[in-house]
Structure 1
Amino acid sequence: MLDLQRMPNRIRGRWGALLMLVAAFGCFAAMPAMAQQKLLDDPVIYEQTHFRKECSTATFEQDFVNRIDINNDGLVDAVVNEGAIVCDGDRGPGCTEEGCPYNFYLQVAEGGYFMIATAQMYGYDFVKRFGNMVFELKMHARYCDRTDAAPCLMTVRVRGTTFLTISKK
């Protein structure tokens, strides 16, 4: 760390100005990360538009979107299953041996949606446990720190905008 008090005045002024400039730049560089995420009118239209640009021919199967209240706030949210997309004849363009991408969108009272999470998984069930709705995510075993072939079953609940892991099996 620089000790500006021990430097001559002419050097201290230059270093002080430089340090102030660096500090100011650091504040401005962090601003985009703190900026509010843009709300989407409809996540389904947003996702479909994206894949129609990526694919010559894109079709969306019935289980492409599931509209449910994932955080128990009374607003209907959306879960988009990218495995239910057929892009140029290939089903699930983002799918791998670890599953397919699922995107989780929350609806806000002011209107619109924003994405809170994306996960690579085999599928999920949305069930009631002890009076609360929770996700049972079926994922690759590595997400439960295992190397066997059996899928990981991760139970999570959404509170506000946060996924809270309850258990992993």
Structure 2
Amino acid sequence: MKKYLMIAAQILILALLPAAASAQQELLNDPEIYEKDHFRKQCATAQFGSGFLTRLDINNDGIVDALTNHGELTCNGVRGKDCNEDGCPYNFYLRAKEGGYFMIATARIYGYDFIKRFGNMVFVLKMHPRFCERTDEKPCETTVRVRGGRFVTISSK
């Protein structure tokens, strides 16, 4: 009897976990407004360069998504205040078919190329060489594709 109660409790917990996980991820009306409002609260003066927000279809579903580059933020006169030798923070957002956006990743990178490979658009993320377990000066280039709301690494060099 005790065994059946434990199994029932585990099933109940597993059934409720997806609801709890989705409650943690709130949909944003627009990541540009969300992030700019965030930095306007943090900085006495916040200025946003033209590359702060880029809108493009990052997961090849025909819906325009978004990404932000914090290196394009000038906070209290300091450009890219959150950037360091590893690069600048970038946030990647997917647009839901029902409307709204949700963040799928944050990466500290030098920059990226968005190119077509084998019929799909992919990111070539340029990062500090240590992310490719190297000690030379040449940036690490990791090619990733967005699938199902997450980054899938295709290659690193």
Give me the TM-score of the superposition, normalised by structure 1. Answer: 0.81
The answer for the alignment partner of 1:61 in structure 2 is: 49
Structure 1 portions without partners, runs of 5+: 5-19
The amino acid across from 2:110 in the alignment is Y
Cα distance in 2, alignment partners of residues 79 and 34 from structure 1:
21
What is the aligned-residue RMSD (CA, Å)?
2.3
The amino acid across from 2:132 in the alignment is C
The amino acid across from 2:58 in the alignment is I
Query: Residue by residue, what CA displacement relative to the aligned partner does 1:16-73 show, whole Å, maximum 9, x if unpaired?
Result: xxxx8xx79xx5xx67445351100000000000000000000000000110000001
1:154 aligns with 2:150: no
Identical-residue share of aligned pairs (%)? 64
Kindly tell me the number of residue pairs found equivalent between the two proteins.
150
User: Per-residue deviation at 1:119?
Assistant: 0.1
SS at match of 2:51: helix
Cα distance in 2, alignment partners of residues 166 and 56 from structure 1:
41
Query: Residue by residue, what CA displacement relative to the aligned partner does 1:66-125 show, whole Å, maximum 9, x if unpaired?
Result: 100000011100010000000001011210110000000000011100000000000001
1:38 aligns with 2:23: no
Q: 1:61 to 1:41 in 2, by over 3 A?
A: same
The answer for the alignment partner of 1:52 in structure 2 is: 40
**Pick aligned residue for 2:73 from 85, 100, 125:** 85
Between structure 1 and structure 2, the one with the greater Rg is 1
Cα distance in 1, alignment partners of residues 32 and 23 from structure 2:
24
Cα distance in 2, alignment partners of residues 130 and 109 from structure 1:
25
**Pick aligned residue for 2:101 from 107, 113, 117:** 113
The answer for the alignment partner of 2:87 in structure 1 is: 99
The amino acid across from 1:113 in the alignment is Y
The answer for the alignment partner of 1:72 in structure 2 is: 60
Cα distance in 1, alignment partners of residues 133 and 23 from structure 2:
34
The answer for the alignment partner of 2:131 in structure 1 is: 143
Cα distance in 2, alignment partners of residues 37 and 158 from structure 1:
18
Give me the TM-score of the superposition, normalised by structure 2. Answer: 0.87
Structure 1, 157-166 or 51-60: larger mean CA deviation: 157-166
